[in-house]
Amino acid sequence: MGTLLRVNNLSHSFEYPLFSNLSFALEKKRSMAVIGVSGSGKSTLLHICSTLLKPKNGEVFISEKNIYKLPNDELVDVRRNEVGIVFQSHFLFKGFSVRENIEIATILTKSDFDKNLLERLGISHILNNKVGDISGGQQQRVSLARILLKKPKIIFADEPTGNLDQKTANEVMNIIYEYIEKNDAALFLVTHDLNLANNCDIVYKLES
């Protein structure tokens, strides 16, 4: 009950082994952080847990569904409806405005355009700007807005505050924590920032 993500005996390697026999679970309203040196496999683990990459060995369950055993259309449904992924580098449509980028996401996932959230993220005054013309930190917050508006069960965030100053970073993290509390969701965070990691309920370190 309440387990949103469960990982059993996960192993993965590219040219060299990254990790083997990882097992853990993430309950609703909980947050976990993954830390470790560059190249230790943090982003790879996040991709595996968030439907994007099939592991060499092991199983990933999201809301009790063994995701890499699902037919592809059901895997796509899980990706669209249950997970929200904040990438290390974000994927916004550069030629479009902030408003258009957010609208595309709300239409795809049939969710509301929540002006209040945009205000709290500090991006309500740049809705008409082209994404190519706003700062990296602002782009990061537009990506987060798109993700929160679709109300995912698990937020996967890969260095979500990498481009932000300390104050904005704290605000963004507070919005994420409030979101998981209110929506019975969970957070899977990858970060180099030990302070951010230590605010999570569980911290895992990948050794090289």
Ligand X SMILES: Nc1ncnc2c1ncn2[C@@H]1O[C@H](COP(=O)(O)OP(=O)(O)OP(=O)(O)O)[C@@H](O)[C@H]1O
Of 101 and 161, CB closest to Mg ion: 161
Residue 40 as a binder of ligand X (CB under 6 A): the answer is yes
Task: Give dist(CA 5, CA 149) in Å, integer.
Answer: 21
Residue with tokens 């990982």: 7
Residue 129 as a binder of ligand X (CB under 6 A): the answer is no
Going 75 to 76 to 80 to 86, the CA torsion angle's sign is positive
Residue 44 as a binder of ligand X (CB under 6 A): the answer is yes
Residue 38 as a binder of ligand X (CB under 6 A): the answer is yes
Dihedral pair phi/psi, residue 5, rounded to 5°: -135, 130
Of 43 and 143, CB closest to Mg ion: 43
Residue 43 as a binder of ligand X (CB under 6 A): the answer is yes
Of 40 and 163, CB closest to ligand X: 40
Position among 43, 97, 101, 191 found at the interface with Mg ion (CB under 5 A):
43
Q: How many CB atoms lie within 10 A of CB 127?
A: 17
83-86 sheet: strands from edge to edge: 83-86, 154-158, 186-190, 31-35, 202-205
Residue 191 as a binder of Mg ion (CB under 5 A): the answer is no
Stretch that binds Mg ion, among 8-16, 37-45, 101-109, 195-203 (CB under 5 A): 37-45
Largest CA distance in the chain: 48
Residues making contact with ligand X (CB under 6 A): 14, 18, 36, 38-44, 88
